Each structure stands twice: as C-alpha cells, then as structure tokens.
C-alpha cells in the first residue's frame, strides 16, 4: 500500500502557479488602468508625436538648415518639445506601474508559490528538469540596474527557493501587454514555428535551445509545434526558471531549464538542431552578443537552424522608426538598445562563423498573415507593417548539412 501511495504522490499533477495570485477588485481595476495607460502612451501618443514632428517641428527646423537623416537629429529636435516630454513621462510611469500593480497579490501568495515550485522541481511529473547554479556570477550588465524598470530585475532572490521575480515578470507582463491570460503567451514562437514549417517542411528538430528563456513563454509553443523535440531553456535568473519550470510541468510540457550565462554554455558541440531567442540580444552589450553568437555556432549541428527574434537593425529602418525604438536606451533601463541595433546582423553572424549567404534578417508576418501576405513585408515595400504592429523582425542563419 505504501508504494501505491508514493506512486500516486509522484504522479500528482502540478497546479497552476499563476492561479495562486488573486488580485482584489481594486487591484484588478488598477491593473486594467495601467494596461490602458501604457497602450495609450506607446500607440496613440507615439502617433501624435510623430504627427507633431512631421507637421510642426520638422518644417521649422529644416527651414533653418537642419537635416533629419538620422535618429539622433530627430532626438535632438524633439528633446525639448512638450509633446515628446509628456509622451516620455507617461510611457515611463506606465511601465513602472504595470509591474508595481501586481506586487501586493504576489506578496500574499508568495509562500504558496514557492512551495508549489519546489514541489515541481522535486517531482518533475511530466519529465522536465530544473538545474540551478548558486555559484553563477551574474554579469554586471544585469546586476547593475533593474532592466525594463522591473523592480528587483530578473535574478534577485530574497528568500530560499524564491520565485518572486518570476511572478513579477510574468504577471506584470500580463498587465504590460494588456493580456490577462498566459495562454496568449508565445505569439512570437508561433509565428516563427509557422515560418519554419512552411519554409523547411522536412525540418524535424530533435533538440532545441531557447536563450534567455525567462519563464519559457516563447519556448512552449515550439514544443507544441515540433512534437517530440527535446527542449532546453537557459537564463541567468533562478526565480524566472523556477517559475517557468512550474508552469511547464503544470502545462504537461517537458522542458529542461538550466541557469547559465549564454556567453559560455556547458552543452557539447553540435548539440542542437534549433537555437532560438526572443527579445534577448538588445539586453546585453555588443561584446556579449558576439560571444553568444559564437556559442550558437559551436552548439548548432550541421543542417541546424538559428532564429533570433529581435528589434530591427538601424540599417533596415527609416530615421523615425529608428528614433522610436531608441527611446528605451535612455528611459527604460536598457542601455544597450541603440548599440545593438546599430550592428549589421549579417556581419555579426559572419564574425561568429556563419556564412553570409545562409543568413537572413527580415520581418515575418504575424500568425494570420503568413505565407499569403509575406511579400508585403519586404523592407522596400511601401507601407510595410512595422515590427510589433503586424510583423516580427528576426535574424538568423543555418548550417549546411
């Protein structure tokens, strides 16, 4: 009888860790307000300041001989404009408020969250795993500031087996993206998966890696779209990985999470068929980017594919779009935004050992537009949808068989 009880315990499903957070009516109202405020700032107000620039600021400055061929020129002209200052203030505060709005509900549920994540790590009922490194040195580019204005950043721990930062990032992202369910996660991965399956119908990855996986939100859809793939996710933040592992075990998706610095991974050469990332490289210095891409080249097997979703390079967009993306460099605790985007992605990959003629950098249409409308997303196509508004920018390469 004892062995039967032990077996039942081992097979008991992991509950939904996100379901432990219960916002009050007031907290939910505050979260909806924060979502609406951020959406208004980043969409409506962004369009308003562009109109103000085009109709008022640009003509007046051009009459004085100013050339607006670069994002820097636009930034210099807009810095003292009330429209831009109001936009920046609202966007900055809305960003902070999104994460702050979930902290009370997390504090109330934190001990239960920790116990649930600990149980998932001990039992791994669906076959995933969690490998943490308490001696890992967190690089200064992460430890010196709260990236994204996220209080506590991604990696800090306050108690044993802490998941607080995983909860703040995950639940705050719901508010941030105006999504109240984690089931809307992974849109980027669904787009890339669909593109891969269309362009390479015979591609069957046996083992894949997601770099900077966070809580794995953009890793789970790959497992769903490539049945049987052995999925690995690496990140520097232990709280994120504990949180993500608990979610994956609850969802019934076996994922192997490990706490590692992507500049120096412990996997053997040629270990992966597919290597991906989402919104990762603009968070690290260009020197670190070069190291990570060299690791990708080392880890990718012959015939393998690498696809990184990122922010479009400066050389691929017009000055206004370049100016728009660079806002985060100064105002969102993402100091490497501009320097990363200033790089030519094809050249970066060539430096890492990838062949230029097997590399790419383009916009992928959103999930409902590919492949039927793919041609409309070419860089030189008039009215091309912008990254994040109908499409997603990706760069990557492949190795010959």
Q: Is 284 left (phi over 0), alpha (psi -120 to 50) or beta?
A: beta
Is the whole-model pTM more than 0.85?
yes
In degrees and rounded to multiples of 5, residue 257 shows phi and psi of -95, 140
List the chain residues with pLDDT less than 70.
1-10, 179-186, 367-390
Whole-number pLDDT of residue 392: 87
pLDDT digits (tens, 9 = 90+) for 108-134: 999 999 999 999 999 999 999 999 999
Whole-number pLDDT of residue 181: 41
- Helices first, then strands: H and E counts in the chain: 16, 8
Whole-number pLDDT of residue 3: 43
Whole-number pLDDT of residue 5: 39
Whole-number pLDDT of residue 219: 93
Nearest-angstrom CA–CA distance, 213 and 233: 5
Asked whether the bond before 294 is cis by omega within 30 degrees of 0, the reply is: no
Whole-number pLDDT of residue 385: 62
Nearest-angstrom CA–CA distance, 45 and 130: 42
Q: Does domain 11-401 have CATH number 2.40.50.140?
A: no
> What residue ranges do the domains of the chain occupy?
11-401
């Amino acid at each position: 009888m004892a062995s039967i009880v032990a077996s039942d315990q081992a097979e008991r499903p992991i509950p939904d860790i996100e379901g432990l957070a219960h916002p009050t009516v007031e907290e939910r109202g505050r979260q909806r307000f924060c979502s609406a405020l951020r959406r208004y700032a980043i969409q409506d107000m962004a369009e308003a300041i562009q109109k103000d620039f085009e109709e008022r600021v640009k003509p007046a400055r051009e009459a004085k001989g100013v050339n607006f061929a670069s994002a820097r020129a636009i930034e210099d002209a807009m810095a003292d404009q009330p429209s831009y200052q109001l936009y920046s203030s609202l966007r900055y505060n809305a960003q902070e408020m999104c994460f702050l709005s979930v902290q009370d509900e997390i504090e109330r549920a934190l001990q239960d969250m920790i116990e649930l994540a600990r149980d998932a790590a001990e039992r791994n009922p669906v076959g995933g795993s969690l490998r943490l490194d308490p001696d890992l040195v967190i690089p200064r580019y992460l430890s010196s500031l709260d990236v994204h204005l996220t209080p506590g950043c991604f990696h800090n721990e306050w108690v044993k087996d802490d998941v607080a930062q995983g909860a703040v990032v995950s639940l705050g992202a719901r508010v941030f993206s105006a999504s109240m369910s984690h089931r809307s996660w992974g849109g980027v991965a669904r787009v890339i998966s669909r593109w891969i399956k269309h362009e390479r119908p015979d591609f069957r990855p046996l083992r894949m890696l997601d770099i900077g996986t966070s809580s794995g939100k953009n890793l789970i859809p790959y497992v769903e779209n490539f049945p049987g793939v052995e999925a690995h996710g690496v990140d520097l933040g232990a709280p994120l990985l504990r949180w993500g592992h608990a979610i994956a075990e609850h969802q019934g998706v076996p994922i192997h999470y490990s706490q590692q610095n992507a500049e120096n991974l412990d996997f053997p050469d040629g270990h992966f068929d597919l290597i991906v990332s989402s919104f990762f490289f603009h968070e690290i210095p260009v020197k670190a980017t070069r190291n990570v891409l060299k690791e990708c080249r080392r880890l990718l097997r012959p015939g393998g594919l690498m696809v990184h979703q990122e922010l479009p390079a400066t050389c691929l967009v017009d000055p206004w779009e370049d100016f728009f993306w660079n806002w985060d460099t100064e105002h969102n605790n993402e100091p490497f935004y501009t320097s990363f985007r200033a790089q030519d992605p094809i050249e970066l990959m060539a430096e890492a050992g990838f062949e230029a003629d097997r590399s790419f950098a383009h916009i992928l249409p959103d999930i409902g537009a590919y492949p039927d409308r793919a041609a409309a997303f070419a860089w030189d196509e008039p009215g091309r949808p912008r990254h994040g508004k109908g499409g997603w920018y990706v760069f990557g390469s492949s190795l010959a068989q």
